[in-house]
Amino acid sequence: MSPGNWNRGTRIVALLGIAAVLTSVASAASVSEMVDSNWREQLARFFSMRDASLRFALTGSILLGLSCGLLGSFIVVRRMALVGDALSHAVLPGVAFGFLWGMTKDPVAIFIGAVIAGLMGTTVVSLLTKTTRIKADTALGLVLASFFAVGLCLLTMIQNLPTGNKSGLDKFLFGQAAALGADDIRLMAIVTVCAVSLITLFYKELLATSFDAGFAQVAGIPAEWIHHGLMLVLAAAIVIALQAVGVVLVSAMLITPAAAAYLLTDRMHRMLFLAGGFGVLAGVAGAFFSFVGRGLPTGPLMVIGASTVFTGAYLMGPRHGVVARWWRQRSRAARTERENTLKALYHVWENDGFRDVGVTLADLAQRRRETLDDALGRSRELERHGMASVSRDAVYFTPQGRRRAAEIVRNHRLWELYLTNSANIAPDHVHEDAEKIEHVLGEKTVRELERRLDYATEDPHGKPIPGPRDIHGGLATGANPREGEA
């Protein structure tokens, strides 16, 4: 495939991606229209940023999206996705205790309580795996469920207290960005700064310990400390995200943007940038729809946003994406088809003794055993690619087309000869193989084959192998006089 072709392919893929995002935005907006007829007014309020609570919600979403995306990248490449999930559920009893401490929703008390509970959870997990035969996944599941259960009971008890129903703690389950206050934002900013500095200052150490912990440790990098540092900042990032995303889904904000980024790049630093960007995008989208949709829970909307980004990456990724792969496969198949037509034209021409006239469509159809219409369609396809010109009932090679046709025939016959001579395969077995190889044989391999076959001029079936002169100059009987018309 030529580079120009590929660029056009990626451009189309990119356009499709933008279209998909736009339609999803439009359809999501229409959902809120049904929920609330005042969505236009809400939209105007959103973009004017008049409400302080909206500004807090947006800032908070950006901060949590950034910290979750960055830390999530390391969680994904360290295969710690389950740890993130367990940690996020394990913090819930800490949230309740933080509230009970002063009987108010003091962000700092709740933050400290939650981080302590989360770290206790991970400690229990590592104790279980070290002292018993229980493996990490089981230990994580165990801790996740039991801590979460305790948290739910405590939360329900608080709701039943006289002042409890105003506590706003129910927001911790499914998340409500609109509930964020100035103190929450300050805390989120501090944690995000910590996460960003940890990753920029210790990028090298994080990279080395994530890729090969044993090697890093031998080289004198304090792998244990790096791990504990990452876990501490991770716990903090989960806790600040809790109020906006909710306990149930916060791990998705760690994993999904990072997983999408992982599909799109092969370098860690690019993955960090992408994941951070996707996290912010998902956070803002969640806050936006939650606001426009008046009280829809923010967490699920953010996660839907992140999952949409992931789906986009899965489908539209330039290298590993489904669409790009399908596109590459399709263009390869189309090129093979064109080359087979060229080959058929060449065969007819060769059988005619390379006479200076075009190949009739009837002959081409006969050769390929198909209808005249099919033959005409194939010829027009060649014409579109500058390989041939079609006039009335005959097809003529362009110089480029004739060269490629001779190359394909040469590749085919060379490969047949190679298989028969060097691999001792019977001549009647080699055709099928050569049919596939002829399209992918590079010039370097061809040179090598020619050398090994001692510049043979005939294939095992006695047909002449086109040489460099046939390909680059005119063929044995002289140039095709009609080629000038192309």
Residues 306-335 that bind another protein (CB under 8 A): none
Q: What is the 3-state secondary structure (H, E, C) of 293-344?
A: CCCCCHHHHHHHHHHHHHHHHHHHCCCCCHHHHHHHHHHHHHHHHHHHHHHH
Of 69 and 113, nearer to another protein (C-beta) is 69
Of 42 and 217, nearer to another protein (C-beta) is 217
Nearest to 125 by CA among 87, 96, 93: 87
Nearest to 300 by CA among 146, 145, 171, 168: 171
Binding of residue 444 to another protein (CB under 8 A):
no
d(CA 259, CA 21): 18
Of 221 and 395, nearer to another protein (C-beta) is 221
Binding of residue 268 to another protein (CB under 8 A):
yes
Of 125 and 264, nearer to another protein (C-beta) is 264
Other Cβ atoms closer than 10 A to 227: 16
The answer to whether the beta carbons of residues 70 and 195 sit under 8 Å apart is: yes
Binding of residue 130 to another protein (CB under 8 A):
no
To another protein, the closest distance from the beta carbon of 211 in angstroms equals 5
List 3, 27, 48, 266, residue binding another protein (CB under 8 A) = 266
Characterize 416-444 residue by residue with b for buried, 16 or more Cβ atoms within 10 angstroms of its Cβ, and e for exposed: bbbbbeeeeeeeeebeeebeebbbebeee
To another protein, the closest distance from the beta carbon of 195 in angstroms equals 16
d(CA 106, CA 21): 39
List 74, 99, 262, 288, residue binding another protein (CB under 8 A) = 262
d(CA 430, CA 433): 6
To another protein, the closest distance from the beta carbon of 198 in angstroms equals 11
To another protein, the closest distance from the beta carbon of 320 in angstroms equals 11
Residues 189-228 that bind another protein (CB under 8 A): 201-205, 207-208, 210-212, 214-222
Of 202 and 289, nearer to another protein (C-beta) is 202
Of 274 and 449, nearer to another protein (C-beta) is 274
Of 218 and 322, nearer to another protein (C-beta) is 218
To another protein, the closest distance from the beta carbon of 316 in angstroms equals 19
The answer to whether the beta carbons of residues 68 and 81 sit under 8 Å apart is: no
d(CA 391, CA 388): 10
To another protein, the closest distance from the beta carbon of 275 in angstroms equals 11
For helices 107-131 and 136-160, the axis angle rounded to 10 degrees is 150
Distances (CA, A) of 442 to 67, 337, 385, 420, 458: 48, 18, 21, 20, 20
Question: Would you state the structure tokens that stand for residue 395, as one six-digit string?
Answer: 């097809």
Of 4 and 220, nearer to another protein (C-beta) is 220
Of 205 and 383, nearer to another protein (C-beta) is 205
To another protein, the closest distance from the beta carbon of 309 in angstroms equals 18
Residues 58-87 that bind another protein (CB under 8 A): 77, 79
Nearest to 348 by CA among 369, 332, 334: 369
**Residue 478: beta bridge partners?**
475
Alpha carbon dihedral 146, 152, 153, 155, in 10-degree steps, equals: 140
Give me the phi and psi of 84, to 5 degrees please.
-60, -45
List 267, 369, 392, 444, residue binding another protein (CB under 8 A) = 267
Binding of residue 442 to another protein (CB under 8 A):
no
To another protein, the closest distance from the beta carbon of 210 in angstroms equals 7
Of 229 and 427, nearer to another protein (C-beta) is 229
d(CA 426, CA 347): 23
To another protein, the closest distance from the beta carbon of 272 in angstroms equals 10
To another protein, the closest distance from the beta carbon of 220 in angstroms equals 3
Binding of residue 271 to another protein (CB under 8 A):
yes
d(CA 256, CA 242): 16
Of 207 and 453, nearer to another protein (C-beta) is 207
To another protein, the closest distance from the beta carbon of 219 in angstroms equals 3
- Judged by CB under 8 A, how many residues of this single chain contact another protein? 28
Which residues of the chain form contacts with another protein (CB under 8 A)? Answer: 77, 79, 201-205, 207-208, 210-212, 214-222, 262, 265-268, 270-271
